[in-house]
Structure 1
Amino acid sequence: MEQIKNAIQNGKTVLGIELGSTRIKAVLIDENNNPIASGSYEWENRLENGIWTYSLEDVWTGIQTSYKNMADDVKNQYGEELTKIGAIGFSAMMHGYMAFDENKELLVPFRTWRNSITGKAAAELTSLFDFNIPERWSIAHLYQAILNGEEHISKIKYLTTLAGYVHWKLTGEFVLGIGEASGMFPIDSASKDYNKGMIEKFDKLISNKNLPYTISDLLPKVLVAGENAGTLSEEGAKLLDTTGKLGAGIPLCPPEGDASTGMTATNSITKRTGNVSAGTSVFAMVVLEKPLSKAYPEIDIVTTPVGDDVAMVHVNNCTSDLNAWVNIFREYSAELGIEISTEKLYGTLYRKALEGDADCGGLLSYGYFSGENITGLEEGRQLFVRTPDSKFNLANMMRTHLYSALGTLKLGMDILLDKENVKLDRMFGHGGLFKTKDVGQKFMAAAINTPVSLMETAGEGGAWGIALLASYMLAKSENETLTDFLNNKVFSQSESYTLEPTDEDVKGFNEFAVRYKNGLPIEKAAVEYLKY
């Protein structure tokens, strides 16, 4: 306790804040990189005029609330006011579109990763670059806006992501960590910068549009892990801590995306390792030993925080529909006058799924709240499908929803593991899907036929991951790599829990996956005929 109090008093702590899809979380760590206090804020994206978005007011309310709750936690636990911090890092959900004018004013509402509205642009750029450009990427959003002839495009001076915006606002530095930058525009892993050849191709593509910029004019500067990305300004300190107690001048690490912080928090930044984050969305990251043989529309190529190539399978929809079904049981219990905690409710239903048939008894569901690039859907509809001879019971129903949450991910991972023969020794899991012991982990192992491990620290998530990147920037010794830092100073004493896939589960999930793929025309028909 005294050691932690001294660290707080002397500014030896490090703070990480991550803006996730449903929660903004702040985690403070000590000199040994252990979490010592935290705070959070729940939020949700909104569909406004056909665009999934968050308001800037929500962004700052959430950041300030999570910071305040963390500082209150420090006060309550250790009796200390938080006035100085050794380093800070910010991260957020990757991709999306935030365009600003010369006065640094947002030109159109923030377009998040969840939007599937850039199909034409993404397809044209993928063909032009011979490199997969997902619909979520910032460059796809920009080019689609140009194709649409949107009024704001001639006014753009700055283009960034949510993490980049927050960092810019707090420090005045218009920069991005390389992992986050790789979700804006393709990165050349050799130069650790935007791909120059593709920059030239894009500039030539838009040369007849009479725009007052090239793409290089708009993009943030790229930094790698360990580099200093500026300091907290006086204005930034007041914006972060509305009480005015936090001092300015604190160094910040490069802002990163949730993919990079997930890799860091699970120590999966070396080749033949990977991690999967499963919550509102689900994405798997696999660090590549060599480039893929060709571009796949289902696979994004991004980077680790130090710039190594990573194959990313990103799925927009994961637990939202699953949560909706769980809430039906919450509502039913309330009608019966039974009070049940969230932990018990989820735990009971998830564990019930373990009793289900390995192939879910012939049941099928699609939890698509929004569109999916991998399955070619611009919009989503939630469906539960069964036939007269399906084995419809509670265990199979819950198992079906859990399998469905991973169904689209499996389609992408099969490309890497089967078609490209990518070698993967172990996957690390984190996120809400894995909170109930053995369940999500068991089904994930079956989906990818690979051992899945959970770390004891995984519950701290991306906020801890970006705190570690800030700690690395602050405390790294000369020539110390991020891998060395994580292995020797963070995870050397960490324990993990691993589940191996069983033959029965793998066979059952493969049978479900065939049903899932064959049933996609049902989902597509629902999108076509059930228009809002």
Structure 2
Amino acid sequence: MEQFLGIDLGTQGVKVIGWDEEGNFLGSTSREYPILTPQIGFAEQNPEIWWEKTKEAIKELVNLIPQVNVKAIGFSGQMHGTVIIDDNLKPLYPAIIWADQRSHQEVKIIREKLEDKLATICGSDVATGFMAPTLLWLKENQREIFNRIRWAILPKDYLKIKMGLTPSTDVADASSTLLFNIRKRNWSEEVLEILGLNDNIFPPVYESTQVIGQMKEEVKEELGLKGEVLLVAGAGDQHCAALGNGITEEGELLITIGTGGQVFTPLCEPLVDDKLRIHTFCHAIPGFWHLLGATLCAGLALSWFKKSVLDSPLQAFDFKELDQEAQKVEAGSHGLLFLPYLIGERTPYMDPRARGSFLNLHLTHGRAHFIRAIMEGVCLGLKNVTEVFKELGVEPQRIVFSGGGAKSALWRKIMASVLDAPLFTTQVREEAATGACILAMMGTEKSSEEEIISKIIRYGNPVLPERKAAEIYAEIYPKFRDAYPALKKLFP
């Protein structure tokens, strides 16, 4: 029986999952690693730590499989980040990841230089942490190191080099650099020339399902792997999470509440918002594109409130306990409204200076009201994203809810009622890593993605909106939408 592994190189840790060709789950393992913040606004990681932790996770998973026969490995990874390496394929500098904010001046420069090309070529507005402004920051502030760059690659692609391949990337992840022509599905010579970047430092680009090589024998031996162990190009974590939730067709929406929140939908043709409120990138499915809207602070908002406001040296609250407490509060939190812009906001405002707030506070509000208001505010923020999708002509036919938020019964009910639509969830573990596994299967089998996905993904009964709650949220949403412009002048 042939087996497939999926590796998801995330922001806080790496996850490795295994499935066999019949869709049987083999196991999953993970390892954590830190985000380094040497200065305010910096967010870095050590690529060698990524590799060491990935090896540990693979070895642990191999020990869970009775007869190892790995056909292929697929890759998923945190998007936008930058790894610069020299002629010997060694890192020249710590990886600068998506959460980094040092390049805010370079973001302004790129907007001024590219103007309408952001929409016509790149399909997206630019933000700090993307590869384009990061490289310009390195050119301005670390010139000696910048001049030694042989390759500029995305985070997950470093793992493939450690497995024995020459530098490469895929169309889906490369789209998130803002140096890519999403329609031609290749690096944009025009954008690189305008920004003064040498096109020779960017690796060859493949479709996400392409087999791009085979793991070196010495690496296979070190990891305890047996079989062909072909390496498939892979994609960004959002693309893989969509596959891992069975999202493959136009009209299907994936809503994720993790640390941040995302709304994702596939496209048969590139569709770009001329206001640049959302991203249009190439999809991991060959010949497809997708829309991606993001709210920066979703599960993070509730985690912040628990850790920074509620927890004390004498008592640490449990998320399940808080969830149960918030269920006792009626929809609308007795008028309490939360704006989840604790670290700025992407869709639809693209405003790094936006700030969070509680509105309509009253003496009758207690802890449970705050908890529920946070959950409702995150869902209302994600509704803001879906409204942009609808404005662009996307009519949701099916909505799948995933991430840590989808594990909460209350959050599922709130999200369904805010959208006034049924929500589906899957029982899949580690959706992004599973999506990477599906890419490995697609790249090495003759089966279509639909046949492969049908073996792995099952949906439960949908969560239906509660009628009274849906009516309350329909009244609240215009107030939520009006709050940002009303408060914008107060933001620092």
With normalisation by structure 1, the TM-score equals 0.80
Residues 122-133 of structure 1 aligned to structure 2 (within 5 Å): 122-124=110-112, 125-130=114-119, 131-133=123-125
Deviation, structure 1 residue 399: 1.3
Higher mean C-alpha displacement, 321-330 vs 249-258: 321-330
Q: Distance in 2 between matches of 1:90 and 1:45?
A: 21
Match of 1:317 among 272, 297, 307: 297
Residues 28-427 of structure 1 aligned to structure 2 (within 5 Å): 28-49=18-39, 50-74=41-65, 78=66, 82=68, 84-116=69-101, 117-118=103-104, 119-124=107-112, 125-130=114-119, 131-135=123-127, 136-146=129-139, 150-185=143-178, 191=184, 193-194=185-186, 199-206=188-195, 209=196, 213-214=198-199, 217-237=200-220, 241=223, 245-247=224-226, 250-288=229-267, 291-292=270-271, 294-307=273-286, 308-327=288-307, 331=311, 335=314, 345-368=318-341, 370-374=343-347, 375-378=349-352, 383=356, 385-389=358-362, 391-417=364-390, 419-427=391-399
Q: Distance in 2 between matches of 1:294 and 1:226?
A: 27
**Cα pair distance change 1:394/1:302, threshold 3 Å:** same
Q: Distance in 2 between matches of 1:511 and 1:142?
A: 45
**Cα pair distance change 1:466/1:112, threshold 3 Å:** same
Deviation, structure 1 residue 249: 5.3
Q: The residue matched to 1:226 in structure 2 has which SS?
A: coil
Counterpart position of 2:427: 456
CA contact (8 A) 1:301 1:312 kept: yes
**Cα pair distance change 1:293/1:87, threshold 3 Å:** closer
Higher mean C-alpha displacement, 222-231 vs 498-507: 498-507
**Aligned partner letter, 1:428:** V
Q: The residue matched to 1:47 in structure 2 has which SS?
A: coil
Counterpart position of 1:4: none
CA contact (8 A) 1:225 1:482 kept: no
**Cα pair distance change 1:126/1:70, threshold 3 Å:** farther
Q: The residue matched to 1:452 in structure 2 has which SS?
A: coil
With normalisation by structure 2, the TM-score equals 0.86
Gaps of 5+ in 2: none
Q: Distance in 2 between matches of 1:18 and 1:416?
A: 27
Deviation, structure 1 residue 231: 0.9
CA contact (8 A) 1:276 1:430 kept: yes
Deviation, structure 1 residue 93: 1.2
After superposition, give the CA deviation of every residue in 1:208-250 in whole Å (9 maximum; x if it has no partner): x5x6x23xx23232222432121111454366x2xxx335852
CA contact (8 A) 2:336 2:361 kept: no
CA contact (8 A) 1:86 1:251 kept: yes
**Cα pair distance change 1:394/1:304, threshold 3 Å:** same
Q: Distance in 2 between matches of 1:276 and 1:354?
A: 22
**Cα pair distance change 1:435/1:121, threshold 3 Å:** farther
Deviation, structure 1 residue 27: 1.0
Q: The residue matched to 2:95 in structure 1 has which SS?
A: coil
Q: Distance in 1 between matches of 2:46 and 2:59?
A: 20
Deviation, structure 1 residue 328: 6.7
Q: Distance in 2 between matches of 1:67 and 1:368?
A: 37
CA contact (8 A) 2:438 2:452 kept: no
CA contact (8 A) 1:232 1:248 kept: no
Residues 422-501 of structure 1 aligned to structure 2 (within 5 Å): 422-437=394-409, 439-457=410-428, 459-474=429-444, 476-477=445-446, 480-487=447-454, 489-491=455-457, 494-501=458-465
**Aligned partner letter, 1:172:** L
CA contact (8 A) 1:263 1:304 kept: no
Q: The residue matched to 1:86 in structure 2 has which SS?
A: strand
Q: Distance in 2 between matches of 1:309 and 1:445?
A: 26
**Cα pair distance change 1:360/1:421, threshold 3 Å:** farther
Q: The residue matched to 2:302 in structure 1 has which SS?
A: helix
Q: The residue matched to 1:37 in structure 2 has which SS?
A: strand
CA contact (8 A) 1:90 1:466 kept: yes
Deviation, structure 1 residue 300: 0.3
Q: The residue matched to 1:260 in structure 2 has which SS?
A: helix
Q: Distance in 2 between matches of 1:310 and 1:325?
A: 33
Deviation, structure 1 residue 519: 4.1
Deviation, structure 1 residue 384: 5.0
Q: Distance in 1 between matches of 2:108 and 2:22?
A: 48
**Cα pair distance change 1:231/1:428, threshold 3 Å:** same
**Aligned partner letter, 1:171:** G
Q: What is the RMSD computed on CA atoms of the aligned residues?
A: 3.2
**Aligned partner letter, 2:292:** M
Deviation, structure 1 residue 154: 2.9
Q: The residue matched to 1:172 in structure 2 has which SS?
A: coil
Q: The residue matched to 1:412 in structure 2 has which SS?
A: helix
CA contact (8 A) 1:268 1:274 kept: yes
Q: Distance in 1 between matches of 2:482 and 2:292?
A: 24
Gaps of 5+ in 1: 1-6
After superposition, give the CA deviation of every residue in 1:300-348 in whole Å (9 maximum; x if it has no partner): 001321241211002332212312333479846x837xx98xxxx3233
Q: Distance in 2 between matches of 1:464 and 1:21?
A: 17
**Aligned partner letter, 1:496:** G
Q: Distance in 1 between matches of 2:463 and 2:271?
A: 28
Q: Distance in 2 between matches of 1:255 and 1:484?
A: 19
